[in-house]
């Protein structure tokens, strides 16, 4: 039985991780930490766990963790995470880190997009980008996994087969995404105040969204060359899910049937990627760890539609998928 600690348990990804572990036959939750003002009985902090978990969320005490836990799901925000991850590793835990701190390999790009100097470049070097469909072998047995961002997960699964085969121009990829509001986190704000967000849809992060360099880095690794992505996120009036519509310019003559065949081949043995014969919908995957993809050719473009649940495949589900891989468990435990 894998013993799991959640560091930064008071947010939505903490709660989602707790929900998944309840259904995991070979992992159990042993420790929960959060900022002092967010601590308390789990059932008080999250009424949905009343009677389901008999644990307290407490201020982080890393000393207790060495004997208590095998793995930490580190749900801390960017910048805070790289302060604590070295300590968690030093305490002998495996770490799946939800923040961006170990995703961008180049500390200068990190500094540019996150406005802070990277303080743990030692561990950054060893961290593996935890997108199992692309990097499963490297994840196995590793100590530190950088759990991917939600948008990059959906976008990269949509374009990986095309990039691997060199089928598209690498300077004109457009990723147009609409996310549910849980992506904004648990802190109230004017934009996500219900009477403002309800019946609304808006674009944000125009030309500046931090997931852009992450997408470009991994896409570049797949393609073996520099990739430029115009990524435009939007927020829509629903809780969960990301719908990405990806527009690519083909380098070669290709049709929809050939594209579908390529995607079927690429993802045949992947438990969590389903290639569809029709356009997917956010609700087809909400609450699950699945990514549904549909690819077609129209008007001179390859258009790929991809949907994931931002809190599951885009965060907590993927983290537990990574945890399962690290420990050599069946990859879908807790995620059925």
- In whole angstroms, the minimum distance from the beta carbon of 227 to a copy of itself comes to 12
* Distances, alpha carbon 227 to alpha carbons 175, 195, 246, in Å: 13, 39, 14
β-bridge mates for residue 129, sequence order: 146
Q: Return the closest-CA partner of residue 82 out of 49, 54, 117.
A: 117
Q: Kindly name the residue from 39, 74, 150, 291 that is annotated as catalytic.
A: 150
Say if residues 65 and 31 touch (Cβ distance below 8 Å).
yes
37-66: contacts with a copy of itself (CB under 8 A):
43, 47-48, 50-52
Answer whether 333's CB lies under 8 Å from 4's CB: no
- Considering only residues 265 to 284 of the shown chain, the ones binding a copy of itself according to CB under 8 A are 271-272, 274, 276, 279-284
Nearer to a copy of itself, 60 or 303 (CB): 303
Size of the site for a copy of itself (CB under 8 A): 77
Q: Least distance to a copy of itself from the beta carbon of 119, Å? A: 30
Q: Is 39 a catalytic residue?
A: no
Minimum distance between the CB of residue 64 and a copy of itself, rounded to whole angstroms? 26
Taking the least distance from each CB to a copy of itself, the nearer of 123 and 324 is: 324
Residues in contact with 271: Cβ distance below 8 Å, sequence separation at least 6, in sequence order: 331, 332
Q: For residues 119 and 194, which CB has a smaller minimum distance to a copy of itself in the complex?
A: 194
Both tokens assigned to 286: 């909400």
Binding of a copy of itself by 253 (CB under 8 A)? no
d(CA 67, CA 5): 11
> Does 143 participate in binding a copy of itself (rule CB under 8 A)?
no
Determine if 296 is a binding residue for a copy of itself (CB under 8 A). Answer: yes
Site for a copy of itself in 222-241 (CB under 8 A): 228-230, 232, 234, 236-241
Separation between Cα atoms, residue 96 and residue 313, nearest integer Å: 14
Q: Report, in Å, the least distance between residue 310 CB and a copy of itself.
A: 11
CA neighbours closer than 13 Å in the CB half-sphere of residue 287: 2
* Closest separation in Å from C-beta 298 to a copy of itself: 3
94 close to 56: Cβ distance less than 8 angstroms: no
Interface with a copy of itself (CB under 8 A), residue from 55, 174, 222, 254:
174
Count how many Cα atoms sit within 13 Å of the Cα of residue 116 in the half-sphere of its side chain.
13
Residue 100 has a CB neighbour count (10 Å cut-off) of 24
Contacts to a copy of itself from residues 144-173, by CB under 8 A: 171-172
Beta-carbon contacts of residue 188 (< 8 Å; ≥ 6 apart)? none
Does position 28 interact with a copy of itself (CB under 8 A)? The reply is no
Binding residue for a copy of itself, selected from 119, 200, 226, 264, defined by CB under 8 A: 200
Nearer to a copy of itself, 44 or 61 (CB): 44
CB of 171 to a copy of itself, least distance (A): 7
Structure tokens at 59: 């201020």
Nearest C-alpha neighbor of 297 from the set 180, 167, 207: 167
25 contributes a contact to a copy of itself by CB under 8 A: yes
Q: How far apart are CA 5 and CA 203, in angstroms?
A: 36
Q: Which stretch binds a copy of itself (CB under 8 A): 55-63, 147-155, 162-170, 191-199?
A: 191-199
Task: Identify which range of 60-68, 83-91, 132-140, 285-293 contacts a copy of itself by CB under 8 A.
Answer: 285-293
285 binds a copy of itself (CB under 8 A): yes
Active site residues: 150
């Amino acid at each position: 039985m894998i013993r799991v600690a959640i560091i930064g348990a008071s947010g939505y990804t903490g709660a989602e991780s707790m929900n998944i572990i309840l259904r995991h036959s070979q992992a159990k939750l042993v420790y929960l930490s959060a900022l002092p003002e967010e601590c308390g009985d789990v059932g008080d902090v999250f009424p949905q766990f009343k009677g389901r978990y008999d644990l307290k969320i407490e201020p982080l005490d890393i000393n207790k963790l060495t004997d208590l836990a095998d793995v930490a799901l580190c749900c801390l925000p960017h910048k805070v995470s790289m302060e604590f991850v070295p300590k968690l590793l030093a305490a002998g835990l495996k770490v799946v880190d939800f923040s961006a701190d170990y995703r961008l390999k180049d500390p200068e790009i990190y500094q540019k997009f996150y406005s802070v100097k990277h303080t743990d470049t030692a561990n950054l070097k060893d961290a593996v980008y935890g997108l199992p469909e692309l990097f499963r072998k490297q994840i196995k047995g590793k100590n530190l996994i950088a759990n991917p961002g939600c948008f990059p997960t959906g976008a990269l699964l949509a374009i990986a087969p095309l990039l691997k085969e060199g089928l598209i121009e690498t300077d004109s990829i457009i990723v147009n995404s609409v996310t549910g509001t849980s992506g904004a986190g648990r802190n109230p704000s004017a934009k996500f105040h219900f009477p403002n967000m309800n019946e609304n849809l808006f674009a944000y992060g125009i030309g500046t969204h931090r997931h852009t360099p992450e997408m470009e880095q991994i896409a570049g690794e797949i393609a073996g060359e520099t990739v430029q992505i115009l990524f435009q996120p939007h927020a829509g009036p629903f809780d969960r899910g990301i719908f990405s519509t990806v527009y690519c310019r083909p380098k070669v003559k290709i049709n929809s049937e050939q594209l579908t065949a390529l995607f079927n081949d690429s993802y045949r043995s992947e438990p969590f990627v389903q290639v569809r014969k029709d356009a997917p919908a956010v609700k087809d995957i909400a609450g699950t760890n699945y990514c549904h993809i549909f690819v077609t050719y129209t008007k001179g473009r390859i258009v790929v539609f991809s949907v994931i649940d931002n809190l599951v495949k885009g965060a907590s589900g993927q983290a537990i998928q990574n945890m399962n891989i690290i420990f050599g468990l069946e990859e879908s435990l807790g995620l059925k």
